[in-house]
Chains A and B, each alone.
Chain A
Amino acid sequence: MKHKYLVGVYNDDDILLDAVTKVRKEGYQVHEVFTPFPVHGLDEAMGLQDTRLHTIGFVFGAIGTLTALSVMAYTMAIDWPVIVGGKPFFSFPAYGPIGFELTVLFAAVGMTVVYYIRNGFSVLRDAEVLDLRITDHKFIMAFCLKRYHKDADITQITRLMKESGAEEVYVKDMENELSPNLFRKDGGVITEHAHHH
């Protein structure tokens, strides 16, 4: 099944940011925005939920610390105690460096893996590119036409985009649905209302 999107192409990040705010103020939900580089404030303007990636990093880091300390304590003090330079079997200060390194290792690897999984990144994945110019110099706003199928809505969104500085507006058929991450479990779009509360 094809997925239809109404696409507005912008030339400039600041114009795009204003446009997103303006369109949402009129009550339309932006389905997705594509940019060639991170535009600060865009996630807030779109009403995206904050990412929880940093929390994941903390959890993995804590697992790393515990793993390192328990393995070192177990091998050195419990399983096979060996006297090394007269140091105590459980020589906690000596566990510092590896404890630290494994904290960093686990946090970094864990976070990165979760980042790839959450974005659906994989070597096997063929990205369906909406517009080849996104990774170059164009900023793109897309509206889901399944949601806005009425002519009145389409005309209104088109007008809003053109007024806010879109240099091109067109309809694009995509094989895959864009960013299902934006949707909540119940299938509903994260709305203006939800964002404000």
Chain B
Amino acid sequence: MHYTSPIREPLITGNKSYHDITQDISRSIENPPRLWWIALIISGAVATMGILLILLTIWKGIGMWGLNKTVNWAWDITNFVWWIGIGHAGTLISAILLLFRQRWRTGVNRAAEAMTIFAVMCAGLFPLIHMGRIWLAFFILPYPNTRGILWPNFNSPLLWDVFAISTYLTVSLLFWYTGLLPDIATMRDRSKGWAKTIYSRLSFGWTGTAKQWQRFESLSLVLAGLSTPLVLSVHSIVSFDFATSVIPGWHTTIFPPYFVAGAIFSGFAMVLTLMLIARKVMKLEDYITIAHIESMNKIIVMTGSIVGIAYITEFFVAWYSGNVYEQWVFIRNRVADPFIFGPMLGVEPAPYWWAYWSMMTCNVLSPQIFWFKKLRRNIAITFIMSIFINIGMWFERFVIIVTSLHRDYIPSSWSYYSPTWVEVGIFVGTMGLFMTFFLLFCRYFPVIAIAEVKAILKVSGDQYIEKIAVQEQKEAEQAYGGAGSFSPALDKDDK
């Protein structure tokens, strides 16, 4: 009934039973590690600082930031795009990998979906604050009003963004919570007292009947089908904010796929950063195995290479187009460093050359090490690399936004931008906010989808795969008589 090729690596190790899975995953909810409190206090404090600085910005105005007449988008929009990108891994894992029947998604989908929601929440903050008068944010919605029936401009990509981001947040939230119901019911049936009361409310009365599961499967599949184009559309639309403009360096037709690949790239990096810590602290090594990490690293090397090709294509097209403004932005504003390319091309160094080369190093060069299996399966290297990519992808957005803006058509309005402490503080604050939400999620909800892991146990549990391997070995020996030239090798090098 259940069959997996024995050369497939197990995704659940440690000879687990269904009951073990429940026990292991609910352990960190029932007996949280002490580290949790320390982490919560730190991230809570950072989040509070961020919120205070947001309030300061709203109170005093956008003048608290380092923006000027020339560079009117900078850290805030960089942070917005960075967070949105991070929010792309969750839906990719739960939707696209569900359609592709990738079983390894079950180890990380729940946490990645939660990350998506928190990241999109952080992202949404930035354009809202950037409006300046945040209390008028509802002006962006089309509703009959007393301002002479002034409708929003539906031709504007900025408005498309409003719809894309809010749809993405809503659909991700529905997907995540609906998937959580069976696991919250598990927590309900294990807990006592007030915890039981709360989990009982939150489980919405889930009982696990055949009909509920049938509808659940249908809903998951259709939501996955809807979310797949959705996740691709969201970052495409974010890229339209730039691509439909006439700013050199932004006016590029490859932006949509390039942004989407970058988003998935950075999203997986963040999933790895968090899950490598979580699997260690919460002792989930049997559920988030080296095989999971390797799979994610494969996606990273693929999307990282797509991003690399996009960078080079952009550069090539800027040169080949013969458009002097485009060429100026790429060479004089980005690439020309003071050491190699600047002197080589005989131009003075670009003011933001260090941002461009940080991006190139972190995003294009460093992930190439994941072509080596040994390195893909190395936890320490994966962790360091995930941080590198997070930094690199932040720089990518900074490079696109600031280097294009600071020196454009009219030299008299050329300027330089550097952030104020308020901007830096708000960005760091959103990281605190993100971590606070993530920690609360880890503490009160199953961080791995219990029911989904159980559903793949018989195809991906180590004991079952081994059984199939032994069985096939025997059959082969019978068929070919004796000595096994046929040996279904299980990959054991991480044990």
| Contact between A108 and B18, CB atoms less than 8 A apart | no
Interface presence of A43 (CB below 8 A): yes
State which of B163, B201, B226 has its C-beta within 8 Å of the C-beta of A107: B226
State which of A13, A48, A104, A123 has its C-beta within 8 Å of the C-beta of B211: A48
Interface presence of B217 (CB below 8 A): yes
Query: Within the assembled complex, what's the spacing in Å between the Cα atoms of A134 and B18?
Result: 11
| Contact between A36 and B210, CB atoms less than 8 A apart | no
List, in ascending order, chain A residues with CB within 8 A of B167's CB: 101-102, 104-105
CB closest chain-A residue, reference B204? A121
List, in ascending order, chain B residues with CB within 8 A of A75's CB: 142, 151, 154
Stretch touching chain A among B131-139, B184-192, B392-400: B184-192
Q: Is the interface of A mostly helix, strand, loop or mixed?
A: helix
Known: A51-B215, A104-B171, A105-B171. A34 touches B154 (CB 8 A): no
Interface presence of A160 (CB below 8 A): no
State which of A34, A54, A57, A76 has its C-beta within 8 Å of the C-beta of B207: A34
List, in ascending order, chain A residues with CB within 8 A of B174's CB: 108-109, 112
| Contact between B209 and A34, CB atoms less than 8 A apart | yes
List, in ascending order, chain B residues with CB within 8 A of A87's CB: 155
| Contact between A101 and B233, CB atoms less than 8 A apart | yes
List, in ascending order, chain B residues with CB within 8 A of A33's CB: 209-210
Known: A37-B182, A135-B185. A127 touches B240 (CB 8 A): no
Interface presence of B230 (CB below 8 A): yes
| Contact between A125 and B210, CB atoms less than 8 A apart | no
Known: A38-B451, A79-B151, A135-B182. A121 touches B163 (CB 8 A): no
Query: Within the assembled complex, what's the spacing in Å between the Cα atoms of A102 and B171?
Result: 11
Stretch touching chain B among A148-156, A162-170, A178-186: A178-186
List, in ascending order, chain A residues with CB within 8 A of B142's CB: 71, 75
Query: Within the assembled complex, what's the spacing in Å between the Cα atoms of A111 and B175?
Result: 11
State which of B22, B160, B218 has its C-beta within 8 Å of the C-beta of A53: B218
Interface presence of A171 (CB below 8 A): no
Query: Within the assembled complex, what's the spacing in Å between the Cα atoms of A75 and B152?
Result: 9
Please encode chain A, from 87 to 110, with 1 for each CB lying within 8 Å of some chain B CB and 0 for all others: 100010011011011101101110
Query: Within the assembled complex, what's the spacing in Å between the Cα atoms of A113 and B253?
Result: 38
- Apart from A35-B213, A105-B170, A132-B189: 8 A-B pairs, beta carbons within 8 A: A43-B210, A75-B154, A91-B155, A97-B157, A108-B175, A129-B189, A136-B18, A137-B22
| Contact between B155 and A84, CB atoms less than 8 A apart | yes
Query: Within the assembled complex, what's the spacing in Å between the Cα atoms of A118 and B181?
Result: 15
Query: Within the assembled complex, what's the spacing in Å between the Cα atoms of A98 and B189?
Result: 43
Closest CB pairs A-B (n = 5): A125-B205, A137-B18, A121-B204, A75-B151, A135-B186
| Contact between B451 and A36, CB atoms less than 8 A apart | yes
The smallest beta-carbon distance between B171 and chain A, in angstroms, is: 5
Interface presence of B466 (CB below 8 A): no
CB closest chain-B residue, reference A75? B151
- List which B73-102 residues lie within 8 A (CB) of chain A: none
Between B175, B202, B211, the greatest number of chain A beta carbons within 10 A of the residue's beta carbon is seen for B211
CB closest chain-A residue, reference B182? A135
State which of B201, B208, B221 has its C-beta within 8 Å of the C-beta of A34: B208
List, in ascending order, chain A residues with CB within 8 A of B163's CB: 97-98, 101-102, 105
The smallest beta-carbon distance between A44 and chain B, in angstroms, is: 10
Interface presence of B319 (CB below 8 A): no
List, in ascending order, chain B residues with CB within 8 A of A126's CB: 200, 205
List, in ascending order, chain B residues with CB within 8 A of A71's CB: 142
| Contact between A104 and B230, CB atoms less than 8 A apart | yes
| Contact between A53 and B210, CB atoms less than 8 A apart | no
Interface presence of B203 (CB below 8 A): yes
List, in ascending order, chain A residues with CB within 8 A of B226's CB: 57, 61, 104, 107-108
| Contact between A136 and B170, CB atoms less than 8 A apart | no
